[in-house]
Structure 1
């Protein structure tokens, strides 16, 4: 790969479609940056795979994006970030950001009581990755984690403001409310789509930390500090690369992205 230039795209990758919420946040925060998104739709879900397999798949995707001359890699999948971020950083010639570190940084900066909650998939919660990242930033923080396995299928079904989704959220958050936390991290890239519903459920008990918005802010800071922000004011180029094109990918993808999903390419790794 040649030297990174401000005109080069940002590379964002995920095990499937969820990382498109990160792309959406980047589009809003950095409207002139080109983006290449990679979703490993043929091999999703990653949560049931071994650590070594996830690390191998993650590195394959990172290598593919590096061949596209990206100036920055963003790991938009919590499962990938939990087990493979350090390995990708060790081999990458460009900066690497991930949703777990970004969410942890934002939560530590915003909490007043040092009591932070994290909701995510069982795989992410069982990895304890958010708790480790938060404690590295502030050892005095107390972290309460809650797995919410039903949220992903409900979001992919499009039940974003459905009574069943609200009832599910109320059940999952009951033990979280008992912990008296003041900051709740949305530790899955699907969860921003139900953020309005979650805000309704939590009321004024706590503030929500959206890892997608957190990483968009972190990306903007990094590009500015390294002189890599794109100076062009032309219409940006967005590419979407997948390993399979399921029938529902475009429908679900456009829901996550909040706009039309064009330029879908299928590749074999």
Structure 2
């Protein structure tokens, strides 16, 4: 058992969807979160740059003595997970493998869709992961570059969001998918709109939520979970490279927290 925090990193506020699930499944665990909102979105960036930014966030949290790192960003997972896993002594988890497993389990017709950033779709990591575990699966991927800016600007409930989601998902509607992976942790904030556009017959897979189940398993495996009998209150600290006000508006509403400790930090040179 260890009282050290679990670290979560993301290009912006999207990883908060993972944190929300972590707070539900692992209420006794302390959480440190870094959202690189000043340099978001990561999707259009070069892989080398995404890897550099991911390492900068990682080093920041390592200085906080975290016990586990969750790369709560699909683009960063595709670009940097393997490199970081090799070099850190603590467990490191990404969001692509858990989401892929869940989709394979959920599909009944072996037609799986993936929506994500340009970087995630270009990497083809979901397709590779899914087909390495199920050769019969057909995977159709679609980049949705406008989704992250909508979430980051706190417009995910707006009429604009509905219009953009409907227009963007048109190519996916005739692919015959019965399961759709939300391959970006920002996308669950758009989930009701995405579900409405795709139809009730399509099962949506939240890769971030699936990741937390794996986090729980690994905590137990390494015996580093906080004991439920521990009377100390879990600590939740949030760091952003951008506006603390915008971050807090989105985070407090999504996480249901009235009081939040949000601090602005600098990583590298913006």
The aligned residue for residue 247 of structure 2 is 249
**1:50 aligned residue:** 46
* RMSD of aligned alpha carbons: 2.0
Aligned to 1:76: 72
Q: Return closer, same or farther for 1:266/1:133 CA change in 2, 3 Å cut-off.
A: same
CA distance in 2, matches of 1:160, 1:48: 20
Looking at structure 2, the residues matched to 140 and 125 of structure 1 have their Cα atoms a distance apart, in angstroms, of: 20
> Which residue in the other structure is 1:238 paired with?
236
Out of 52, 56, 63, the residue aligned to residue 59 of structure 2 is 63
With structure 2 as the length reference, what TM-score do the two structures score? 0.89
1:202 matches 2:191 = no
Whole-Å separation in 2 of the counterparts to 1:61 and 1:159: 26
* Distance in 1, Cα, partners of 2:221 & 2:105: 20
User: CA shift at 1:229, angstroms?
Assistant: 1.6
Aligned partner of 2:189 among 186, 193, 196: 193
Normalised to the residue count of structure 1, the TM-score between the two structures is 0.90
Q: Distance in 1 between matches of 2:266 and 2:163?
A: 41
- Say whether the 8 Å CA contact 1:250–1:261 is kept in structure 2: no
1:131–1:143 CA contact under 8 A, matched in 2: yes
Q: Per-residue displacement from partner, 1:213-246 (whole Å, max 9, x unpaired)?
A: 1111111122122222210254210011233435
Question: How many aligned positions are there?
Answer: 265
Moved more, 168-177 or 204-213: 168-177
Cα displacement (A) at 1:43: 2.9
Contact 1:102–1:214 (Cα < 8 Å) also in 2: yes
Please, which runs of 5 or more residues in structure 2 have no aligned partner? none
Contact 2:150 2:161 in 1 (8 A): yes
Q: Is the CA contact 2:4–2:30 (under 8 Å) kept in the aligned structure 1?
A: yes
Matches within 5 A, 1:82-231: 82-231=78-227
Unpaired segments ≥5 residues, structure 1? none
Structure 2 CA distance for aligned equivalents of residues 109 and 226 of structure 1:
26
Provide the C-alpha distance between the structure 1 equivalents of 2:45 and 2:113, rounded to a whole number of angstroms. 26
Answer with 217-226 or 251-260: which moved more.
Answer: 251-260
Give, in angstroms, the shift of residue 208 of structure 1: 0.5
* Equivalent pair of 2:9/2:35 in contact (CA under 8 Å): yes
